[in-house]
Amino acid sequence: MDYLERIFYSNMDIEENPEMTEESARERAGKLAQRRAGSLIEEYGEIGGGSPLNEQAAGQAEALTVELDNRGYDVETYTGMLYTEPFTDEAAAQAVADGHDEVLGLPIYPLCGPSTTNLSLDKLDEGLDAAGFDGEYHQVSGWHKHPTYNRLRADNIRAYADEAGVDLQDPDTELFFSAHGTPQYYLEEGSRYDRYVDEWCAGMAGMLGVEEYTLGFQNHDNRSDVLWTEPDIEAAIEDVDADRVVVEPVSFMHEQSETLAELDIDLREEADEAGLEFYRVPIPHDDDRFPSVLADLAEPFLADFDPGYFQFRQCQCRDEPGTMCLNAPDPDWD
């Protein structure tokens, strides 16, 4: 319940209720959490009782430490989560307590979104401020355009299809991208998340030599009056005109309930009802190249050279000076 209440409360602005007070918002979050708890407990039961997300994130942090050490940087990594332990603000406080005078915030969300990337950095800000941090602070937001990241995802899809004996160029095979959905409210407020999803899927299909594909969004229906990105994956899979689908979970870098339950169980059932063979691409969370990707994102700030040399520019999705990303257009480019 605590976990769910944190999620619903942090996203209460999507209900666009100007009369909502903090007290009523927390009460509303509690009711939403109570409504969702039973089905979420059932989901976790179906995937073995727990999520591997924390363990995989800790492994990535450790691998990043090794990669940066190999590059000659003396860096300590901390893992922070938005809604469950270890919390981001607590990780920030620990970093300050350990005596660090330079901090880099690096959310493991390739596609920048307000309730993921931006909120993670906001929580890090709050944690550092509360701990009295007055050192040097860097923030990285969207990085889905990193070439090695794209290559490892394309290689992962191709390797899985080959192992499963599926031809991605077969007209009876549909490459199906499943992206985490977002409320339309955020897009209307200026988020470019939907554009990032579109461009990433188009690029990935091109790298795989696939001309046509399907995109659906994993939306949540806990708030009936909140509009989400379209189409949702259930509607999208009904429109697939093929014999089989190869499902790629867009931007996920850890296995979790959204992949192990929403895709492997719920979407598989939808595919079965539609008469489709179902193949779900595993998350390449432990790809040997991923620590290098993260190290590349950190290196300009650790080495103290102009991040613009690595094509970093001021993030336009997070109105906070010093937040850098790989998505923003070059204002000097004609």
- Count of structural domains, the chain: 3
User: What does the DSSP 8-state code read for residue 239?
Assistant: T
- Looking at the structure, tell me whether residues 40 and 70 fall in a common domain: no
- Looking at the structure, tell me whether residues 274 and 184 fall in a common domain: yes
Quote the pLDDT of residue 209.
Answer: 97
Whether 156 contacts 168, CB under 8 Å: no
Element (H, E) at 60: helix 53-70
Angle between helices 22-46 and 2-10 (to 10 degrees): 130
**Range of 134's domain?**
53-144+289-325
Q: For the segment 293-327, what is each residue's pLDDT rounded down to a tens digit? A: 999 999 999 998 999 999 999 999 998 899 999 99
- Looking at the structure, tell me whether residues 257 and 236 fall in a common domain: yes
Looking at per-residue confidence, does 14 or 259 come out higher? Answer: 259
Whether 120 contacts 82, CB under 8 Å: yes
pLDDT-based confidence at residue 334 (cuts at 50, 70, 90) = very low
Q: For the segment 239-278, what is each residue's pLDDT rounded down to a tens digit? A: 999 999 999 999 899 999 999 999 999 999 999 999 999 9
Q: For the segment 199-255, what is each residue's pLDDT rounded down to a tens digit? A: 999 999 999 999 999 999 999 877 777 899 999 999 999 999 999 999 999 989 999
Whether 91 contacts 78, CB under 8 Å: yes
- Looking at the structure, tell me whether residues 118 and 100 fall in a common domain: yes
Residue 319's domain is classified under what CATH number? Answer: 3.40.50.1400
CA distance 144 to 327: 8
Quote the pLDDT of residue 293.
Answer: 98
